[in-house]
A and B are shown apart, each in its own frame.
Chain A
């Protein structure tokens, strides 16, 4: 694709770093295709219904669709539920996985390897698959249709434990020992030495966890059956599938509303998002 490279290229002007026009066009076409469905939804949501499928530059803008969507279903409650759910899951995950990771990274005890393999099992058999049994457990506990039931199977995250264990193992043991010489207890060492040094990993995991649980659908769909516990994703699905009379403008408005917090957060903190997903993926 690229032209013949000169024998001795100027140092900072390498031929490979300058993609040809063909690449540039292909990359842009793909990017525009990637944004097309989203752009279409934005158009429909911000214009009156009669313009939802007609494209005129001067079509009047409106926020009515959002207002109507907000009034047509208990979205305020759904937002509250999702926010509570995501916060609860993240907080419990952080505490539990920090303790477990500390134990794996810095202690020697009998059964350690077996325990660690048991943790890793969850990386392949996720709670998303074990719907039937987990539903039975929740109904035995009398938790069906509660936020707690949505969160419980995800509280212990093998992924978080694994990630933090790697990080903790990379922290120099001398720091740990120095703190102990100063008379710090196990918990103090963990809190004062390990947790602060692992802060970037915590941010990374938090972003991944929040976006996963904000978007999670199947398990919440099964375990909830009332407005009180339903998160946004389930609420949106019920809203857009039951009311046949609702027009596309309102559905797309509701859809954008549901995605807005994540989308805005992503656009504002793009770098952190990308780096978090990157860090979380590279184990």
Chain B
């Protein structure tokens, strides 16, 4: 880039001409993607914010300005607050569990373990399958009486339990499916990072007689920090975006025990067709995702420059 600028100052006008032509080319190349991005990401984001201050248009009645009315509805909507707490529990459990398991999987598969290729395949398979399809499988797995889980628990002599139908266990069941789906995906990033670590670190630690745990804690874990941050950001985003399985497993029930923010947004917007209130919920979701991105950008990136 710098070289281009120096060259420009040398040849003067001809270059300026050339440069403006290049700029036109650049914008032409960029145009189609930019137009689509503006129409389906930026404008809708702004429109969502605007619409959240208007009422839902009904029939011939157009939308009118209602100020913070939709947000007041939100504050008084017990299902909204239920979905927020549920989502925090869901994210709070999915994130550490899937990252922890991913790390363990990667450490195992990175070593000369028996059946390494099989293990890697087993861990990663859930990632490539459609969530809607695997949710069906899990639904069967959790089914009262016939499901595999019931069969296993009855073998041990435990009483029958409707795992998805009980408001105490529904959210946990849904969370487990998410962990199962995600851990293998995150494993890949850890595995990639582990493979780039210098093998002489291993040798040095072995010669020094460091224990395996010590080696992990003092060498591998710090060096994996950038990967952990990357995975963490993805896990947080997915924690607020993964709802496909809710449609199959519980539909948010019983009694909203397993509803999540995006699922609630879907119900408000496309089952009750209260689009104005749905816009207000979208604003909340956008705010969550934006703050995740900002935290990553301003805080975390600076602390991970080990290499």
Interface residues of A (CB under 8 A from B): 1-2, 4-5, 7-9, 11, 14-19, 23-24, 26-28, 30-32, 34-38, 40-41, 44, 52-53, 96-97, 99-100, 102-104, 107-110, 112, 115, 118-119, 121-137, 152-153, 155-156, 158, 161, 186, 211, 214-215, 217-218, 221-222, 232-234, 236-237, 240-241, 248, 251-252, 255-256, 258-259, 262-263, 266-267, 270, 273-274, 277-278, 281-283
Which B98-128 residues sit within 8 Å CB-CB of chain A? Answer: 101, 104-105, 108-109, 111-115, 117-128
Known: A28-B119, A103-B26, A266-B128. A132 touches B275 (CB 8 A): yes
Question: Nearest-CB distance from B257 to chain A (Å)?
Answer: 19
Which applies to chain B's interface (DSSP): helix, strand, loop or mixed?
helix
Nearest chain B residue, comparing its CB with the CB of A207: B128
Of the residues B32, B111, B205, B293, contact of A96 by C-beta under 8 Å: B32
Q: How many contacts between A and B, using CB within 8 angstroms?
A: 306
**How many residues of chain B get a CB closer than 8 Å to chain A's CBs?**
106
Of the residues A16, A19, A35, contact of B125 by C-beta under 8 Å: A35
Cross-chain pairs A/B with CB under 8 angstroms, 27 sampled: A14-B206, A16-B205, A16-B212, A17-B111, A23-B113, A24-B114, A36-B148, A96-B33, A109-B22, A118-B38, A124-B293, A126-B241, A127-B41, A128-B241, A129-B282, A130-B41, A133-B48, A135-B269, A156-B40, A158-B37, A215-B129, A266-B124, A270-B124, A273-B124, A278-B189, A278-B191, A281-B188
Question: Nearest-CB distance from B232 to chain A (Å)?
Answer: 13
Report whether B127 and A277 are in contact in the complex, using a CB–CB cutoff of 8 Å: yes
Given contacts A11-B203, A100-B32, A236-B130, 7 further A-B pairs with CB under 8 A are A9-B207, A16-B202, A37-B138, A100-B29, A221-B247, A240-B136, A266-B125
Which applies to chain A's interface (DSSP): helix, strand, loop or mixed?
helix
Of the residues A15, A26, A241, contact of B206 by C-beta under 8 Å: A15
Report whether A37 and B134 are in contact in the complex, using a CB–CB cutoff of 8 Å: yes
Report whether B243 and A218 are in contact in the complex, using a CB–CB cutoff of 8 Å: yes
B24-45 interface code vs A (CB 8 A; 1 in, 0 out): 0111011011101111111111
Any chain A CB within 8 A of the CB of B221?
A: no
Report whether B209 and A41 are in contact in the complex, using a CB–CB cutoff of 8 Å: no
